């Protein structure tokens, strides 16, 4: 008797499956869409940005703009290093080392001896530390730094974003690969979506860091 009930149950399930497959084949078989037959649109092959990395020093993180750790337009933030970047980028293959208050004070004293508005070693080291220097500058007592100097340094340190453009030009002068001018934050690695002509799709990545009053270091 028990065997008979078991056999009937198996038949019932099988009959149900056959019925579903007959009347509702889409429940079982995935329809083949035309999207699978043609190349996916560019939007769908953009790399997925990683989740926001670990905790940042609050004051430095507060200086980031919305989108800095996500990316906008053609630039997608994609930090993927193992070291924490003290300059606000969370993780990067080219992290900025942490700046201590003592070192900041030493650099500030050095710069105070240098001419204002020139690309001097003291100033350029302060600029290299970017957002960290800006956080510390806000803690400097008013009497410790001439107002004109403070304003100059603050203005320079607030330049936290750059516009970058790349191209690959062949011998005939045809632009075969191109990234139109694209705004990105300093210190954060980005992946760039490039236009191509008569060439397979190209994705590049890179980081830009400030290394002077006028100069920027770039890795592509």
Partner 1 sequence: MAGPWFAVLRSGEDWQTLDRITLSNGTRTDPAVVQSRVWFADEAPQELPLAAGECVEVDPRWFKTPEVARRPPKEKNTSAQDPVGG
Q: Which of residues 177-196 bind partner 1 (CB under 8 A)?
A: 177-178, 180-181, 183, 194-196
- Between 106 and 159, CB nearer to partner 1: 159
- By the 10 Å C-beta count (0-12 exposed, 13-18 middle, 19+ buried), 28 is classed as exposed
Contact between 161 and partner 1 by CB under 8 A: the answer reads yes
Backbone φ, ψ for residue 203 (5° rounding): -120, 130
What DSSP designation does 198 have? S
Minimal CA–CA distance to 132: which of 172, 102, 176?
Answer: 102
Contact between 152 and partner 1 by CB under 8 A: the answer reads no
Q: What is the distance between the alpha carbons of residues 35 and 12, in angstroms, rounded to a whole number? A: 38
> With b meaning 16 or more CB within 10 Å and e meaning fewer, what string describes 80-118?
ebeebbbbbbbbbebbbeebeeeebeebbeebeeeeeee
- Between 152 and 166, CB nearer to partner 1: 166
Shortest reach from residue 92's CB to partner 1, in Å: 14
Long-range CB pairs of 160-163, under 8 A, 24+ apart, other chains included: 160/63, 160/65, 160/130, 160/131, 160/185, 160/186, 161/65, 161/185, 161/186, 162/186, 162/208, 162/216
Which one of the spans 6-14, 26-34, 83-91, 208-216 is the region binding partner 1 (CB under 8 A)? 208-216
- Between 20 and 216, CB nearer to partner 1: 216
Contact between 21 and partner 1 by CB under 8 A: the answer reads no
Contact between 52 and partner 1 by CB under 8 A: the answer reads no
Which one of the spans 17-25, 40-48, 53-61, 207-215 is the region binding partner 1 (CB under 8 A)? 207-215
Contact between 148 and partner 1 by CB under 8 A: the answer reads no
Taking CA atoms, 216 is separated from 124, 149, 192, 202, in Å, by 11, 22, 18, 24
Contact between 201 and partner 1 by CB under 8 A: the answer reads no
Shortest reach from residue 184's CB to partner 1, in Å: 9
Which one of the spans 10-18, 43-51, 82-90, 175-183 is the region binding partner 1 (CB under 8 A)? 175-183
Q: What is the distance between the alpha carbons of residues 115 and 126, in angstroms, rounded to a whole number? A: 14
Which one of the spans 39-47, 128-136, 143-151, 199-207 is the region binding partner 1 (CB under 8 A)? 199-207
Contact between 23 and partner 1 by CB under 8 A: the answer reads no
Task: Name the site residues for partner 1 (rule: CB under 8 A).
Answer: 159, 161-178, 180-181, 183, 194-200, 202, 204, 206, 208, 211, 214-220
């Amino acid at each position: 008797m028990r065997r008979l009930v078991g056999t009937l149950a198996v038949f019932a399930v099988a009959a149900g499956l056959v019925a579903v497959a007959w009347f509702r084949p889409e429940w079982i078989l995935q329809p083949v869409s035309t999207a699978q037959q043609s190349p996916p649109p560019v939007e769908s092959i953009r790399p997925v940005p990683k989740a926001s990395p670990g905790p940042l020093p609050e004051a430095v993180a507060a200086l980031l703009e919305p989108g800095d750790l996500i990316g906008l337009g053609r630039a997608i933030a994609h930090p993927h290093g193992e070291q924490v970047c003290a300059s606000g980028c969370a993780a990067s293959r080219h992290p900025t080392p942490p700046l201590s208050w003592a070192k900041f004070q030493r650099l500030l004293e050095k710069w105070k001896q240098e001419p204002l508005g020139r690309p001097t070693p003291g100033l350029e080291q302060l600029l290299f530390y970017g957002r960290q220097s800006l956080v510390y500058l806000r803690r400097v007592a008013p009497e410790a730094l001439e107002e004109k100097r403070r304003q100059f340094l603050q203005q320079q340190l607030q330049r936290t974003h750059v516009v970058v453009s790349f191209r690959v030009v062949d011998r005939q002068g045809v632009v075969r690969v191109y990234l139109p001018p694209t705004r990105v934050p300093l210190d954060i690695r980005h992946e760039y979506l490039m236009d191509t002509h008569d060439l397979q799709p190209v994705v590049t990545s890179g980081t830009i860091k400030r290394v002077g009053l006028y100069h920027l270091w770039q890795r592509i």
